[in-house]
Structure formats: C-alpha cells, structure tokens
C-alpha cells in the first residue's frame, strides 16, 4: 500500500452468535478481522461468513463459517458475506471487468465508488447507496483520495441466458479503461 495516502480502514469487528450445550444464545466469536489483498490487487477482502447449503444451518461449526476464502469470489454452494476495501485511485480487480455467476447485494458504507459496466455506463455510488449485481460484466473504480468500503452478500445463481447464448464467468480488459 502507498505510504503517502490515507491509512487502510480499520479491521471489521465480527460478532457471531451461537448456542451453548443447553441451547441458550451465546457469543461464539467477537473479534476484529483483518482484510487481505485479493488476487494480486491492492483491494482488500475481509471474509465475514461463508455458509454452504440452502437453507442455512445454524448448528454447524463457527470455524467453518469464518474460514478465509482468498482464492474465490463466490461460494458456488451457498452464501458469502464479505467486505471489500478499495484503496484510493485504484480498481477492484486486476482484470478490470469481470462477471461471476452470482447475485450480489452490495451496500457502500464509506467513500465513493464508480460502478463501470461493459456498455460504458458509469454509476457513481455514495455511502448508503446499494447495488443489486445480477451476473453482469462490471468493474469497481475508486477515483477519489479516500478508501471506499462496501459490504457484499453473494449468492450463487444460474447463468444468464440471452437468446441462445449462455453467459459464463469472464474477466477482460475493455477499451477506454486504463490499467
């Protein structure tokens, strides 16, 4: 990270509840969770929860849900809850534009991010804005001097079909967006 820019955001405090042997509610985990650089980028991912299966199970191991998943974006078998911290003047992905086979709910908590779609559309998001990302090719760009923090819930989905064409996972560079 640059030493001349603003410091990275503080780790997220993650509080997880569970049950004791008598079935009473307890705090099973309460600690800050540090982010990690994802896939060679400067963007930091913080995995908050990873749940296999639908409907979710609330009697499984907390350790399974908090394991770091630094090689994949989505959980193809369930849900993922993640924070993405994007540094100033950077893109979220080393491939710039990408598509995942997922339905993503995103809430921008701090900073400003620009959602860029492959049709050239640019949507500037401010804190409190939400996005429902439905398997489209997109990129996130932070064009400001401050970090941006966005929370995501990611769910696997069916591939999008347009006519007879099925849209698959994709990562590419597009003209007009510099590295």
Instruction: State the pLDDT confidence band at 73, using cuts at 50, 70 and 90.
Output: confident
Q: Is residue 177 part of a domain?
A: no
Q: Is residue 151 part of a domain?
A: yes
Q: Is residue 134 part of a domain?
A: yes
Q: Is residue 106 part of a domain?
A: yes
**In this predicted structure, what is the pLDDT of residue 20?**
92
CA dihedral 46, 74, 80, 129 (to 10 degrees): 70
Q: Rounded CA gap, 159 and 101, in Å?
A: 6
Question: Which tens digit of pLDDT belongs to each residue from 132-153?
Answer: 999 999 999 999 999 999 999 9
Q: Is residue 130 part of a domain?
A: yes
Per DSSP, the three-state class of 7 is coil
Q: Is residue 6 part of a domain?
A: no
Q: Is residue 31 part of a domain?
A: yes
CATH code for position 105: 2.60.120.10
Number of domains the chain contains: 1
Q: In this structure, what token pair is assigned to residue 21?
A: 């042997």
Q: Rounded CA gap, 90 and 124, in Å?
A: 15
Lowest mean pLDDT across 12-26, 34-48, 63-77: 63-77
Q: Rounded CA gap, 48 and 157, in Å?
A: 20
**In this predicted structure, what is the pLDDT of residue 2?**
46
Q: Is residue 17 part of a domain?
A: yes
Q: Which domain holds residue 94?
A: 12-172
């Amino acid at each position: 990270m640059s030493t001349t820019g603003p410091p990275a955001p503080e780790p997220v405090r993650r509080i997880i509840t569970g049950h004791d042997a008598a079935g009473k509610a307890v705090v099973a985990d309460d600690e800050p969770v540090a982010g990690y650089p994802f896939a060679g980028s400067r963007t930091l991912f913080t995995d908050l929860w990873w749940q296999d299966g639908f409907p979710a199970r609330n009697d499984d191991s907390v350790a399974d849900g908090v394991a770091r998943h630094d090689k994949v974006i989505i959980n193809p078998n369930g849900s993922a809850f993640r924070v993405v911290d994007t540094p100033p003047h950077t893109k979220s992905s080393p491939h710039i534009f990408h598509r995942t086979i997922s339905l993503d709910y995103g809430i921008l908590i701090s900073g400003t991010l620009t959602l860029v779609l492959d049709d050239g559309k640019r949507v500037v998001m401010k804190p409190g804005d939400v996005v429902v990302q439905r398997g489209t090719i997109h990129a996130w760009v932070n064009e400001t001097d401050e970090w941006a923090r966005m929370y995501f819930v990611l769910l696997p989905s069916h591939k999008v079909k347009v006519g007879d064409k099925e849209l698959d996972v994709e990562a590419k560079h597009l003209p007009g967006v510099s590295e």
